Structure 1
């Protein structure tokens, strides 16, 4: 049975490509405490994978007396400051898999809910031309878990979403990718991703290649086509 070729791989950024979630958490707690509130690790985990504006509204309910755009700008500045001082912590195998995809001629997109200026900072620190398209949180009508970010990336790439594979680390991100129609792989970091519809959950990207993704995508599409 024939199956759709893999035209593009769509990457989440925070927690999937780079392990920046601790940077975000380190920025959140002082901000909330500044306004007399408290912020637990469990509350921080609940924000993983959310759009920045949605997270900002949660911070407002925790007592942060700032406008949504002021909160998102402040947190982005703090995370970018940590990136500048501590460097970009790529997740195991992520950079190597990106390089393999580029060598294989498979298109790539970065689909993140971080602001564009932060996404550009991370992309600029990769020592090769890693992405054809970047879709950021301040460029979409509806954030993850809506499918809009992934559909927007596919439109920009000129590919059918059913010919793509998305890699995510959070339930909200996977819900977005699954709803878009892409083949999906969850690579969890801080929160479990079972039960949200991913086609597979991989413990790590270490040792994975473009051929592994292409073969997996073909198998998933063949299975779904045969069940129709």
Structure 2
């Protein structure tokens, strides 16, 4: 009896791989205040894991008179500016785990609702070839929490979604991963993931390795009888 091997690990970006959520918040507040509105920490937390189009709509409701595209472009530029100044602020253990997966020959994908130009900037700032595929918010018709981003990444990698682990830090992201059929791992950062339905919750990626993800995948994947093959 065998269970399918782990074929790929699919990473969310903001809040999971890199700690850019404070950068987004730092861009949102002055934008709302520029037009006479107020923006609370609770409102900012409510944006974690949302598609950028939905986030832009909330900022419009708070008084920003720009179009959705203008808001998205502004926020993306501001976060990129902070990344260029500070560098890539990896979440604890994320860089080491990603490097171990690459050394172990496990395929990796970046699945983010940030714009593609931002996702590629983050990937390019990592000092090794980190991802086999990048799926960004402007690459999909239906964003997280729909399953489409993860299904698109698995298809691009040529793997069955059931043979992947998806790592997420937000409820919306986890819902997307769960709906896709990936084995979902929640690593909470700014918001709770209790009750969302992750296969497992880890408090941190610190000290975790490719072997830990293989064990997680095996523990949450149905076991199938070995196939009998006729050879000549």
Using the TM superposition, give the Cα deviation of residue 87 of structure 1 relative to its aligned residue in structure 2, in angstroms: 1.4
Matched, 1:57 2:57: yes
Tell me what 1:209 maps to: 209
Structure 1 residue matching 2:220: 3-state secondary structure: helix
Matched, 1:107 2:114: no
Tell me what 2:218 maps to: 218
Please give the alpha-carbon distance, in whole angstroms, between the structure 1 residues aligned to 2:131 and 2:98. Answer: 9
Residue deviations 1:50-102, cap 9 Å, x none?
Answer: 11011001111111100000000000000000111111100011011011111
Using the TM superposition, give the Cα deviation of residue 222 of structure 1 relative to its aligned residue in structure 2, in angstroms: 3.4
> Taking structure 2 as the reference length, what is the TM-score of the superposition?
0.95
Using the TM superposition, give the Cα deviation of residue 4 of structure 1 relative to its aligned residue in structure 2, in angstroms: 1.2
Tell me what 2:133 maps to: 133
Residue pairs, 1:1-228, within 5 angstroms: 1-222=1-222
Please give the alpha-carbon distance, in whole angstroms, between the structure 2 residues aligned to 1:107 and 1:49. Answer: 24
Larger-Rg structure:
2
Unmatched tracts of structure 1, length 5 or more: none
Structure 2 residue matching 1:222: 3-state secondary structure: coil
Number of residue pairs the alignment of both structures matches: 225
Structure 2 residue matching 1:173: 3-state secondary structure: helix
Structure 1 stretches of 4+ with a deviation exceeding 6 A read none
Please give the alpha-carbon distance, in whole angstroms, between the structure 2 residues aligned to 1:41 and 1:220. Answer: 36
- Cα root mean square deviation, aligned: 1.2
Unmatched tracts of structure 2, length 5 or more: 225-232
Please give the alpha-carbon distance, in whole angstroms, between the structure 1 residues aligned to 2:217 and 2:125. Answer: 29
Please give the alpha-carbon distance, in whole angstroms, between the structure 2 residues aligned to 1:87 and 1:126. Answer: 10
